[in-house]
Structure 1
Amino acid sequence: MIRQKVMPKIQELCSNYNFSNVILGLRKKDNYTYRHCIGVSVLSYFIGKWLGLKEKELNDLAVAGLLHDVGKTKISDSILLKAGKLSSDEYAEMQLHTVFGYEMILRLPNMTDQQALVALQHHEREDGSGYPYRKSSEEIEYFSKIVAVADVFHTMVSERVYKKAIPLFQVLQEIYQRAFGLFNPVIVQCFITNLMNRMIGDSVLLSDGKVARIVMLHPDDLINPLVESQGKYYDLRLSKSKIMDFASIQ
């Protein structure tokens, strides 16, 4: 579905907006960041669709997701491509990609303030713990909140030189548990619900070594569903056994 429906939409948006040179510059600078931006654009589009946004809003959101990290073209290669942990000074410079991105997008034709703010705010957090300006809750644009969830999800499931990809279910669990505090809980609930609904019928590995099948989700606890293993049903809300990962992902 992504290949047939969403990617052509992203390509169409790219051709309709005058920022192809910016995207090409990002690809030349760092291929991972380029691929990450495409992934975040697709995820943001889906989240927006699940949240009920209209087509024009979805298009604007997809473009915002595509350009959210464009400021990294202004970050030195020694920092952007560093395999090890960044020093405090290096991390401070890396954080500036949000400001650089905001300024770059404002200079592009046909872009909106809201799209520029996504580049500036996608690392801000609901509790004010993010950067660059420690904005909180109502100070953060709605699109920025959507892209923040898509950005963190894609980053966690991706492999880099300095880190392995985190198992998919663990990523869903961590984002779900952070819904109150770091992220907008309505956006997270919508995102996790739609992803987990698509996992019903899939096999999962449990902490006790069993392989089980997801049967039903609990709206009040999406990451501890009802599962079935060898003809027996287990409500993971009440069980010591928990899901470790999706068996099909292994």
Structure 2
Amino acid sequence: MDKKELQNLLEQVAEGQVKPEAALLQIKTEPYKDMGFAKLDTHRGIRQGMAEVIYGAGKTKEQIVKIAQAMVEEKEKTVLITRMSKEAADYVGEFLDLHYDEISRTGMVGQIPKPDGVGKIVVATGGTSDMAVAEEAALTAEVYGNEVVRLYDVGVAGMHRLMDHIEEIMSARVIVAIAGMEGALASVIGGMADCPVIAVPTSVGYGANFGGLSALLSMLNSCASGVSVVNIDNGFGAGYLASMINHLEGRKE
């Protein structure tokens, strides 16, 4: 149950359509489900508006299946699994209707919801090599109910490629700028856009890139206002934050 469903339930109680006892039964579950090897946060959707996500790296394929099945049993409409190996995806697919993206290593059980965010989220990359991180961000945003516009391979090595998409940049509600090397894309977009820009440094680059550290430091030192930075290769974190921003306006209190 997410915040909207809880609010609708309480409104039904107030209007006499649902008895208080019946409503209590729906929400009277433990705030987490102890599975022994994991504690599933079943109330995160109520607290934060977004359900818990399964981080696949470091988990066995059997553990991923059990957690995903438990979330489905808890009536989660969409289950997102990040950093998931192809082997694990093949195994999970034997038990659940899994949609798997090999580029970003992201799995999803259920359907992508209809977008209910205020505007559009633009996900832009400096190069094609950044697509794995970009797709993780884009799919995360879509799973949380956002319309996503993808602008891939529009880095500063060929500025005309980015300038061809001025309309998308100017009309975005949030922009996720993803780049490796020196990470200049975030500053360029930040100087053009009138919305928040979430910069994602990637580990793409030659030796002096230091696994994404050069891009991270460049983005942290951006002279463009309105640019925030997440960790190296953290497409999920960027997509999640972008979704939170895109759902702020018009939210019922």
Q: As a proportion of its length, which structure holds more helix?
A: 1
TM-score normalized with structure 2 length: 0.32
TM-score normalized with structure 1 length: 0.32
Q: As a proportion of its length, which structure holds more strand?
A: 2
